[in-house]
């Protein structure tokens, strides 16, 4: 029997990436699938706190074990912004507007170093387990590619000459911050 895992997210792109990583061993259910129609407030100061707020909300209101991902882009030349504010960097939750603001703020900067970070909180049997994934790379001067979401068109991982948005999902899923954190979660579930 396929096991079901609840992923406390409203982000369909995150859901698709994670569902692909977990299949065929697990079926992934997101917030919509469990009929949780709220945007869970992310009032923490760190990825770990915000991920835990999301997983705890589901545990407290639905009584289900679940995991949540809080993630973002840290850009060295911008004092590691947008970080936990990545989803609403410009003030609104719109990927293109946020990406364009980031490119504007990077104009003239020679240090293009950046990293994507994910912290996953897994609440299992009332206990919180945290898993982190990081990938280092650079911010392009202009967008390239149409796959993925968020800042993917301007993020080029180290060792590659294409952006995340120029990779297909299975390629991104081998190296991405989210995939690395998910690998740790899967190892934990197996043990
Ligand atoms: P949930 O909270 O419902 O999971 P969200 O999109 O609000 O969805 P976050 O609060 O974790 O998720 O914000 C993450 C933001 O960071 C996301 O909206 C993107 O702007 C950026 N981001 C995270 N992972 C990314 C990735 O793999 N590729 C591109 N951008 C990413």
Active-site annotation holds for 94: no
Q: Which helix (H) or strand (E) holds 141?
A: none
The CATH number of whichever domain residue 125 belongs to comes to: 3.90.950.10
- CA 1 to ligand 1 centroid distance, Å: 31
Averaged pLDDT, 156-180:
98
Reported confidence tier of residue 2, pLDDT bands at 50, 70, 90: confident
Residue nearest to atom 18 of ligand 1 (CA): 87
What pLDDT is recorded for position 134? 98
Cβ of residue 166 lying under 6 Å from some atom of ligand 1: no
pLDDT in tens, 37-68: 999 999 999 999 999 999 999 999 999 999 99
The three-class DSSP label of residue 28 is strand
Compute and round to an integer the Cα radius of gyration of the chain: 16
The three-class DSSP label of residue 77 is helix
Residue nearest to atom 11 of ligand 1 (CA): 70
Determine the structural domain holding residue 159 and report its residue range. Answer: 3-190
The number of domains in the chain is 1
Averaged pLDDT, 151-180:
98
Please state, in angstroms and rounded to a whole number, the distance separating the CA atoms of residues 27 and 15: 11
Residue nearest to atom 30 of ligand 1 (CA): 150
Cβ of residue 137 lying under 6 Å from some atom of ligand 1: no
Beta carbons of 55 and 128 less than 8 angstroms apart? yes
Residue of 87, 145, 174, 182 to test ligand 1 pocket, by largest number of atoms within 8 Å of CB = 87
* Beta partners for residue 68, in sequence order: 121
> Does the pLDDT of residue 25 top 80, yes or no?
yes
């Amino acid at each position: 029997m396929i096991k079901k895992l609840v992923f406390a997210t409203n982000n369909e792109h995150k859901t698709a990436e994670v569902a692909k990583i977990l299949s065929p061993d697990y079926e992934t259910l997101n917030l919509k699938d469990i009929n949780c129609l709220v945007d869970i407030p992310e009032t923490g100061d760190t990825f770990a706190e915000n991920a835990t707020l999301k997983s705890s909300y589901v545990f407290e209101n639905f009584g289900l074990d679940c995991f949540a991902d809080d993630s973002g882009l840290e850009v060295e030349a911008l004092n590691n912004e947008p970080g936990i504010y990545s989803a609403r960097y410009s003030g609104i939750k719109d990927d293109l507007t946020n990406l364009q603001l980031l490119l504007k703020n990077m104009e003239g900067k020679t240090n293009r170093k950046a990293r994507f970070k994910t912290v996953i909180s897994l609440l299992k049997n009332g206990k919180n387990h945290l898993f982190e994934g990081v990938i280092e790379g650079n911010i392009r001067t202009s967008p390239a590619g149409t796959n993925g979401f968020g800042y993917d068109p301007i993020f080029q991982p180290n060792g590659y000459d294409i952006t995340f948005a120029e990779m297909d999902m299975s390629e991104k899923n081998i190296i991405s911050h989210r995939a690395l954190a998910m690998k740790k979660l899967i190892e934990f579930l197996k043990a």
